[in-house]
Amino acid sequence: MQITAEQLILQLKAKDKKAIDALYDAYAPALYGIILKIVGKEGPAKDALQETFVKIWNKGPTYDHSKGSLFTWMLNIARNSAIDKLRQGEREQKMLWEQLGTQNGNGQGHYEPKEEYIGLVDLVHQLEYKYRQVIDLIYFKGYTHEEVMEELDIPLGTVKSRTRIALRELRKFFIYQQVSLLWLLSLTASYYHG
């Protein structure tokens, strides 16, 4: 027996777990497609989809059919979750740039390194390609470990071990050159807590 939209709404308002399961089965692919178009990356899109269904579950009792269909209501939640995820990624990227140096006046593109970071990019480019590739994606492009795994088609453990080895090599240079370890420590901390 197939459940009607009205029954789903009643179950959702009553916080019946069957409702969220049914909604996920019916609408997750469509909502994911919209979220992915906004976010542009699979990892953050999957996170935003999960957040969307948590919000649908939590806000279910407040759904008002007079303001739109159930799908339209869920679509708006998904869109807002995707925008939030996109903004979160932008904030994280901005924080990384601030750790590395300063941006130009409009906050875009141009990177002006702090004095103690001069040569850092050149140093990263001296790493073996497989390590440089991982460091570039994670620390300069803002990828998560899972996104690097998907992008490079390598196991998650390999991503983490390559990151660890690359950081170890960079640490050796910094210690040798007696350059400030502040930046390196922040990268290491984000790796172990990420």
Measured CA distances, 60 to 16, 23, 29, 148, 176 (Å): 10, 11, 20, 35, 58
Q: Closest Cα partner for 52 from 27, 77, 72?
A: 77
- Please list the ranges in the chain whose pLDDT falls under 50: 101-118, 178-186, 188-194
Chain centre distance of CA 32: 15
The residues with which 102 forms a beta bridge, in sequence order, are 112
Q: What's the token pair of residue 51?
A: 């957040």
Q: What's the token pair of residue 193?
A: 């807590």
Give a three-class secondary structure readout of 35-53: HHHHHCCHHHHHHHHHHHH
**pLDDT at residue number 100:** 54
d(CA 23, CA 40): 24
The contacts of residue 115 (CB under 8 Å, 6+ apart) are: none
**pLDDT at residue number 54:** 92
**pLDDT at residue number 52:** 92
What residues does each domain of the chain span? 5-91, 114-193
**pLDDT at residue number 26:** 84
- CATH annotation of 5-91: 1.10.1740.10
**pLDDT at residue number 34:** 86
pLDDT in tens, 114-171: 433 445 666 777 788 998 888 878 776 777 888 889 989 999 999 999 988 888 887 7
**pLDDT at residue number 80:** 87
Domain pair 5-91 / 114-193, same fold: no
The fold adopted by the segment(s) 114-193 is Arc Repressor Mutant, subunit A (1.10.10)
**pLDDT at residue number 108:** 45
Q: Closest Cα partner for 154 from 133, 126, 170?
A: 133
